[in-house]
Chains A and B, each alone.
Chain A
């Protein structure tokens, strides 16, 4: 895919607004908070009272010198400590909307714990905007960010080359950086793996060039502004629901046994017909399902049981089909014993459950990981005990090479093998963003230790691109 942003042809579709989640990542001082502030400000998401407060604080601090002006970064720093120290500490969520879309923006701080914050923001993002300072170009931290995004399989990566005004809107500076980004993309497989795409846009967050409106000061750039790109890229679920097979982790069983909702009864629900109602509630994590589909029920320690979907219910409506990420309740033809933690999947599409887990772990805790440690693994709706058998290496995010390591520390990404107390229906994260993801939890205090991405077992056919 080309690196200069190109819009899809058929973007004029007058449908209800859709939801798009994106994250921003950047290094210190590359103007990320300013960019976020600019997007919010220019898309009119900032209301008068918020703007007044920011203007007062900007003036108090003498922002912009005699010219005045407002410090857009103040719009995003929410905690007292952040305002006092002038830094962003934690991921903050922001909301704005255009006629086409509602946006959820995860603003991820760049300097402290960037891996933790980037992994967190990217795990739910349809797109991630990475900022580069046009005066500095691709830095080691840019390589780290792109590496994490490739690992997390983010569908759309947008590199915003910021402060283009400070290099006199120079095309050659932009083209050099663009070529460097492209080179890093090639090394990582980002943008050329059929999963992700990689776009590069010249912007000035401070002045607004190519943020919401295309800029006349970059005539050599013919692509869309950042917001246009965000408005038109397909969300990850839109891209995937037709490609992936149906997966449905059961959250709980809805079985009222006569304890029907009084408001539903008052509205005319047939009490007799619902006396033996039994349905499995959950959110479709991947793919889609239709009434009449053959499905397998996967229960750890048992062979898959195959049956037919006879109903898809949602709050009194019977659906013919449903797709990720819908929350529904599914009824099956056979009265199996199905419980929380089981998975309902399209028949014949799931490998055997395994108690051996090979994974990439993004270590998010100050407590380091050591071999032999006992942890909990939360996968879908099931949590099992596990033991860390071995750590096979740590990723150098700048060179994308695996180095020898026997433990993992905060912000490290490494490879490990775990032994699970019960087999889980694990799938390679590369192809299954949801069923290939898990949490590692500390059994002592319950804190989240790591984000886990399932890898194929060594010896299985492994995708080359994933072998970093």
Chain B
């Protein structure tokens, strides 16, 4: 890295290639979108859970505004069932980048009686209310999310800048056409916009980028030993909020997480991928989608994600 502006001769060797790699093209597109949103909105925020997609989003934001600070706060909706090591990673990252962290707490809503625990114990769908509340309380007019179109069929129809009405709802049948690289983020009072700069990235792109950029992730994305039990065809971690039922046997396995969400609905996969390059190889060879492999909440119905998104989910 060149740290002196006076030495203009210190340039990188890389001549301009007329063929940018696909990762460079995706990175350029994402940075363009992040800058557009910062330029056109009053008060953006970035959803940051410590999960790999949001970590990549934050990394892109640091690149977009270098050498300046990332000019917006990060927002986390804490289900109260998060993996402790992910919360620890979140706090360290926020500290390292000098960011403001806003937390919306599912637990507080439950304690106040404004949300009811679901019969299945899953808290992912409960995040919508605290999310919309945090957006309203903080007057965020744009919220960056790490959603990708390859994750789910409903997400495949999502715009890069996606309008939400006063109730936070998504109307998939009435979306603005998105043309060229001209993004229309106009909205009226009460509405806000969700921005998805990494819409066009796949899970493999994310991992190749993490490898290339040497981005730190919470350790549970890599193979480790953990006490687990089998439920719904997934390995579930034993934890405070995730206890085996009668007949579910606890065993120790070498596992990793492909997605990191609520402990109550996120499953681990058996894996020997100890490093990022192991993970790239594993993801490239995987025969299951990341949500299909690890998310109980997306197995409820073919339109589970669509229904959640219509109500204002990420």
Contact = CB atoms under 8 A, between A and B. Distances in A.
B98 A262 contact: yes
B156 interface: yes
Contacts of A57: 302
Contact of B63 (A50, A116, A314): A314
Contacts of B186: 376, 441, 446-447
A18 B20 contact: yes
A458 interface: no
B188 interface: yes
B12 A251 contact: no
B134 interface: no
B100 interface: no
A318 B12 contact: yes
Contacts of B214: none
A320 B11 contact: yes
B241 interface: no
A33 B23 CA distance: 28
A448 B287 contact: no
Interface in A406-433: 433
A424 B151 CA distance: 40
Contact of B68 (A19, A49, A254, A311): A254
A116 B177 contact: yes
Contacts of A49: 288-289, 292-293
Contacts of A446: 184, 186-188
Given A119-B179, A318-B12, A273 B64 contact: no
A159 interface: no
Interface in B277-300: 286-289, 292-293
B182 A269 contact: no
A226 to B, nearest CB: 20
Interface in B31-46: 31-32, 35-36, 38-39
Contact of B21 (A18, A53, A123): A18
Interface in B1-58: 1-6, 8, 10-12, 14-29, 31-32, 35-36, 38-39
B179 A120 contact: yes
A237 B29 CA distance: 13
B139 interface: no
Contacts of B22: 16-19, 101-102
B200 A311 contact: no
Contacts of A30: none
B177 A451 contact: yes
B66 A273 contact: no
Contacts of B2: 316-318
Nearest to A252: B39
Interface string A133-163: 0000000000000000000000000000000
B15 A321 contact: yes
Contacts of A445: 188
B67 A261 contact: yes
Given A47-B287, A50-B289, A434-B181, A95 B66 contact: no
A124 interface: yes
B175 interface: yes
Given A80-B303, A90-B157, A315 B177 contact: no
A9 interface: no
B286 to A, nearest CB: 7
B311 interface: no
Contacts of A50: 289, 292
Contacts of A264: 62, 66-67
B66 A315 contact: yes
Given A314-B63, A317-B2, A251 B69 contact: no
A239 B2 CA distance: 32
A94 to B, nearest CB: 7
Contacts of B289: 47, 49-50
Interface size class of A (residues with CB under 8 A): 35 or more
A277 B5 contact: yes
Chain A interface mostly: mixed
Contacts of A241: 18
Nearest to A285: B181
B173 A448 contact: no
B180 A124 contact: yes
Interface stretch (A197-205, A322-330, A387-395): A322-330
Interface in A18-69: 18-19, 47-50, 53, 57
A318 B10 contact: yes
B11 A325 contact: no
Contacts of B124: none
Contact of B302 (A83, A95, A263): A83
Given A18-B19, A19-B22, A95-B150, A319 B14 contact: yes
A364 B307 CA distance: 27
B184 A251 contact: no
B154 interface: yes
B173 to A, nearest CB: 6
Given A90-B172, A315-B62, A327-B32, A269 B157 contact: no
Given A80-B303, A291-B8, A325-B20, A263 B3 contact: no
A101 B1 CA distance: 30
A258 B153 CA distance: 45
Interface in B176-228: 176-182, 184, 186-188, 199-200, 202, 204-205
Given A47-B286, A116-B177, A95 B202 contact: yes
Contacts of B6: 273
Nearest to B19: A18
A227 interface: no
Interface of B: 1-6, 8, 10-12, 14-29, 31-32, 35-36, 38-39, 62-70, 96-98, 149-150, 152-157, 172-173, 175-182, 184, 186-188, 199-200, 202, 204-205, 286-289, 292-293, 302-303, 306-307
8 contacts: A47-B288, A119-B179, A262-B97, A267-B1, A277-B5, A314-B63, A321-B16, A327-B31
Interface of A: 15-19, 47-50, 53, 57, 77-81, 83, 89-95, 97, 101-102, 104, 116, 119-120, 123-124, 237-238, 241-242, 251-252, 254-256, 259-264, 266-270, 273-274, 277, 281-283, 285, 288, 291, 310-311, 313-323, 325-327, 329, 331, 340, 364, 376, 378-379, 381, 433-434, 437-439, 441, 445-448, 451
Leading 10 A-B pairs by shortest Cβ distance: A446-B186, A78-B153, A49-B292, A256-B68, A315-B63, A16-B21, A19-B22, A327-B31, A102-B22, A283-B32
